[in-house]
Chain A
């Protein structure tokens, strides 16, 4: 049965998923290695992003009535499919843990520094738990509502920034080698595009107007990348590359500088809200992915069993998100050195593998159709 999901809601979800891991993780690495040229790296990454986007779209379009877990089984067979599904779920779980850790530590550092991270976690995981129990349509509907709030906040922030940017901060251009640009743009994609792989858990046929989906997905990716570009551009021109490199959450401190005749102040909280929404969607979708995977494995059908299963997953996430990194230094080091190889690269390789098989299957089908057509004639 089709749920009340629209392609527009999926594109909103992609927008939020792309932003989530940018602040506090991707931008920290980006500024430290490319400084004032970070905005150029993003422009380059937009070009490269078409490869993973094409792969995600091809996976979504294959067997439109099934989710990624079943698609993997169809494409790779039962045994290899199970292994790959397990690996994917572990990677998604790692993204979930990292996102949770990043979000909880942000709130802990900037707002509730006396509150244990675990309790901050309960706030978000609890909300995600509730949304998942209500179903994917509720998650996506909340995304649609949040988008309008976010757009209002973004407009206020951008208008308030008038007069603050110093475009000299962008100079010197191209002071990094081309290899650095190339490496960092790929690096950036691993934080902004790879997490969006989780949308493949939603079967295409569950979307009402799915004929528009491909177009909207591409548009959404481009808009989110351009938004990241805008955020980076503003951060460098307002804060300067030196301070952008020092802070863990540079955009937050950029927006903190806004003071419009003492009337519009503390707009950093607007930014926090926007960013927290993004992180919330990554957390919710990752939990949804893992929940669906475990449900498939244990063949869980009843709502009651799903409730306890999801509760268990949430508790597990809460525990690990609190314990995984002893400090921020460890988390940044992990994101710098290990995330790309242990999580992003694995997901990307699996995406490529699935993409190739889908392409070959498509070719075979079209060949068969052509033979059948010629035989008929």
Chain B
């Protein structure tokens, strides 16, 4: 009896049921999605370990749903598609404008997929991006840009989903573009309302958005130090926080930015060893930062009227009673929201020279 039982166990429970040889798997490193008429066009980038130079291939299929399109890969590839290692998801602008909820559902349900992959919006030629650029290069670019540039923030799939479901905050996704010479550029952030794309923020607006959301780690920002010349500074530390008070039953936002900077370039006649001149310079820089933040809020309020900053979410979390009474009117309140910006940046480094290198 025991022998029979052992035999039964070894035959049925050997763990080979889900067994798949690596040779028969197509490991997906990136997914891109476009829409043509009523059908989704899905592009998947597959890691190709056999080729040294061209180490990826891109397959394209169509389907009424994302899953159908993915399943149709079986018609053009003999290998089983495995999306557990997917790190990138590029959504076409056209789909984003119609609403992304329909396409994100599948990847959410699919147990194989890790929900930590990066999401990008492509302004054009979505599938061409995956056909020409390895997903790992795009990810590396995104990683470097989000650390070095203030206008780019990485958004993972579960962060996106969380922001779609949160009250009082709307999602944003970084934007990628492919130029005519098949080179990619990250151009800033896209603005959503719910799951629908409304538009894009330009460089300074994206920077302003990231400043408010305290996402800026580093950037080099130029400023006009006199009527003709520019200087630039590099952000060393930066911390932005906002609080909201209720004044006359209307929200009032107080934005505080503090930090230190490295004066990296001055092309004007300024002697920063003098207190008064340094003060003047800091005044110019702080004013410029204020302008960036102000212009961003004004653009988002007036052009898009969507709360990507999370002012509503702040009220939901910190003044629930007010939020409960006013959330149905939040669009109106946000459009007319009053705010005050305080920027206090200080020079922590000035480089290795004392005076401008320019001949006076």
Contacts and interface: CB of A to CB of B under 8 A. Distances in A.
Contacts of B323: 172
A286 to B, nearest CB: 22
Interface string A77-120: 00000000000000000000000000000000111111110010
A111 B320 CA distance: 40
Given A171-B317, A256-B114, A119 B162 contact: no
Contacts of B115: 253, 256
A172 B165 contact: no
Contacts of B9: 126
A172 B316 contact: yes
Interface in B59-107: none
B360 interface: no
A306 to B, nearest CB: 14
A377 B164 CA distance: 80
26 contacts: A109-B111, A110-B111, A111-B18, A113-B111, A116-B17, A119-B17, A122-B13, A123-B13, A126-B13, A168-B317, A171-B317, A171-B318, A171-B320, A172-B317, A172-B320, A175-B320, A240-B162, A242-B162, A242-B165, A243-B158, A243-B162, A246-B161, A253-B158, A256-B114, A256-B115, A257-B116
Interface string B1-38: 00000000100110001100000000000000000000
Closest 3 CB pairs of A and B: A172-B320, A171-B317, A242-B165
Contact of B17 (A112, A168, A245): A112
Contacts of B17: 112, 114-116, 119
Interface of A: 109-116, 119, 122-123, 126, 168, 171-172, 175, 240, 242-243, 245-246, 253, 256-257
B165 A122 contact: no
A109 B161 CA distance: 20
Contacts of B13: 119, 122-123, 126
B335 interface: no
Kindly name the residue among A109, A113, A242 whose own CB sees the greatest number of chain B CB atoms within 10 A.
A242
Nearest to B318: A171
Nearest to A36: B317
A115 B17 CA distance: 6
B301 interface: no
A114 B111 contact: no
Given A172-B320, A245-B165, 9 more contacts: A111-B18, A114-B17, A115-B18, A122-B13, A126-B9, A171-B317, A240-B162, A242-B161, A253-B158
Kindly name the residue among A109, A116, A126, A172 whose own CB sees the greatest number of chain B CB atoms within 10 A.
A172
Interface residues of B, number: 21
Nearest to A113: B111
Interface string B108-131: 100110111000000000000000
A224 to B, nearest CB: 28
Contact of B108 (A112, A114, A246): A246
A112 B13 CA distance: 12
B166 A242 contact: yes
A242 B167 CA distance: 9
B139 to A, nearest CB: 14
A171 B161 CA distance: 19
Contacts of A112: 17-18
B318 A172 contact: yes
A242 B317 CA distance: 13
A166 to B, nearest CB: 11
A255 to B, nearest CB: 13
B113 to A, nearest CB: 11
Nearest to B167: A242
Contacts of A116: 17
Nearest to B317: A171
Contacts of B116: 256-257
A113 B166 CA distance: 31
A113 B9 CA distance: 20
Interface in B296-352: 316-318, 320, 323
A240 B310 CA distance: 15
A113 B108 CA distance: 15
A249 to B, nearest CB: 10
Kindly name the residue among B12, B108, B158 whose own CB sees the greatest number of chain A CB atoms within 10 A.
B158
Contact of A243 (B112, B114, B161, B320): B161
Contacts of A242: 161-162, 165-166
A246 B165 contact: yes
B162 A122 contact: no
A112 B12 CA distance: 14
Contacts of A171: 317-318, 320
Contacts of B114: 256
A168 B242 CA distance: 14
Contacts of B162: 240, 242-243
B64 to A, nearest CB: 22
A112 B18 CA distance: 6
A161 to B, nearest CB: 15
A171 B111 CA distance: 30
A115 B18 CA distance: 6
A168 B169 CA distance: 14
Contacts of A172: 316-318, 320, 323
A126 B114 CA distance: 32
Nearest to B316: A172
B80 to A, nearest CB: 10
B195 to A, nearest CB: 14
Contacts of B108: 246
Given A171-B318, A243-B158, A256-B114, A119 B12 contact: yes
A175 B167 CA distance: 14
Kindly name the residue among A114, A240, A256 whose own CB sees the greatest number of chain B CB atoms within 10 A.
A240
